[in-house]
Structure 1
């Protein structure tokens, strides 16, 4: 490896039930950093934070079963939270990462908390971003509408998977879908269309059965009872305008985890790491320096998002 070249390796890890899990390892330096994505995501939320941390740390990014470049197991019922923590443990063993800081976004917060519960000796810190400890269907938009509708949605997807996939693919490939999401769910003044587009592209290609089964497993998971027992430094990052995971959930979580720190970004939504990257980097750098005695380097200036103009009528 030539001077100045950072370590980079990508591969797939085959687990005992046949799933092949994609992973990417980049950079050098301890402690290692691991990114756990949200449901239906393949890493888009870490666009700015991951390269920042790679400067001084080894960073692992990986895809859950049926997400991104990972395949599903031979038994397609083996999908969801029940298997994710064991997958991550095998992943850490495969890449030789012993103790790590876990970063979780959205569903990744549940993954990080559950992993810390099961494999506490492998975790030296938690950064929990725009996510909940469990039961996301109960709090989506501060309403139970999605919870009541979910059994019907899942039933349709399970019964008509090919038709559901075609409809979802068609809808999510439209510019209208992207613009509606930006307008209704994100901070239009701060999110760049090019930052959000990869999410829609991945979601359009994803097997809808994998999506609903993973969502169901999230709804059945709850780490509330574990929060008082989290014994590693923890930073909770929340968006004040987050409708997917309302900010009060993050406040509640930070209050319940001993010694946890809360960074509430008032103008942030569920995509806060993309909307306020400089602020998130600076807060993570301070957390790592003060609580874990490590340094990532001076925060980079926040990029200026190229915000797409509203779609025409």
Structure 2
């Protein structure tokens, strides 16, 4: 599969890199990474989905994207995603969001429903309202970023399956590329927002993938999230934690292919 990274200048005023891979005539599948990560968090998933036209951008403030001092509300982040679709000349796409990337995907599906054909929510929250337990640590950050802090932050979400060390080192690099104000403002934009399924209705096919050992998101909330999206399918991986994408990319790929009816 031919792959390239394009620099997209968005109507929202920022420039972001976006990995493009797969046959241009294939079904488009847009990946949205989690807070504190980058498009490279999908490096183990992309090769497992050869039947799609994949687009994986770095989101505002993260990875190699522009890092403005503003624009980190949940609505702003969803607006960037709509602008990414515009820059790619896509009216709509299936959208796969990992963790908070799935929260952004939900907001896009609520606010601009015509842009989303289907949703895959991988360890994605029902609600982030209220301060998470690690918000105080984030509020105390200052530049330059402390690599030891970034490494320690990975321990907020315990791993229950083996993850390659190179992949973990890449996530440390992601964290080091974010200024302290982005860590703070992007997190605040998530937890200060009205949860998308409280703000509106999602009416597209949805697959919800959840790690049964998740200590951040409860199974009750995942069941409620599925109930709020008519016809949504909830699948639980009993021995995975919150970082489903990191721990089981093979299972995620298998379930995505089945859900989107792609061999």
Structures share fold, TM-score greater than 0.5: yes
Secondary structure (helix, strand or coil) at the match of 1:66 reads coil
Aligned pairs for 1:23-42 within 5 A: 23-28=18-23, 29-42=25-38
3-state SS in 2 of match to 1:236:
strand
The corresponding residue for 1:61 is 56
* Number of residue-to-residue matches in the alignment: 261
Q: Runs of 4 or more off by more than 4 Å in structure 1?
A: none
Could you tell me which of 82, 104, 111 is aligned with 1:118?
A: 111
In 2, are the aligned partners of 1:32 and 1:57 still within 8 Å (CA)? yes
Question: Would you say 1:220 and 2:216 are equivalent positions?
Answer: no
Alignment correspondent of 1:308: none
2:31 touches 2:55 (CA, 8 Å); kept in 1?
yes
Match of 1:240 in 2: 212
User: Structure 2 vs 1, CA of residues 201 and 70 (structure 1 numbering), >3 Å: closer, same or farther?
Assistant: same
Distance (Å, rounded) in 1 between the aligned partners of 2:247 and 2:71: 35
Pairwise CA RMSD? 2.4
- Is the 1:109–1:133 contact (alpha carbons within 8 Å) kept by the matching residues of 2? no
More divergent stretch after superposition (210-219 vs 43-52): 43-52
1:262 aligns with 2:226: no
Q: TM-score, normalised by structure 2?
A: 0.89
Output the CA distance in 2 between the equivalents of 1:286 and 1:243: 27
Structure whose residues are more often helix by fraction: 1
Q: Does 2:43 align with 1:47?
A: yes
Is 1:93 the equivalent of 2:74? no
Structure 1: stretches of 5+ with no match in the other structure:
1-5, 290-294, 298-313
Write the distance in 2 (CA, Å) between the matches of 1:25 and 1:238: 27
Cα distance in 2, alignment partners of residues 271 and 114 from structure 1: 21
Separation (CA, whole Å) in 1 of partners of 2:124 and 2:35:
11
In the alignment, is the contact (CA less than 8 A) between 2:95 and 2:105 conserved in 1? Answer: yes
Partner of 1:277: 249
What is the CA distance between 1:104 and its match in structure 2? 0.5
In the other structure, the counterpart of 1:195 is 167
Q: Compared with structure 1, are the counterparts of its residues 257 and 18 closer, same or farther at alpha carbon in structure 2 (3 Å cutoff)?
A: closer
Whether the 8 Å CA contact 2:62–2:177 is kept in 1: the answer is no
Distance change >3 Å, CA 107–CA 208, structure 1 → 2: same
Choose 1 or 2 for highest CA Rg.
Answer: 1
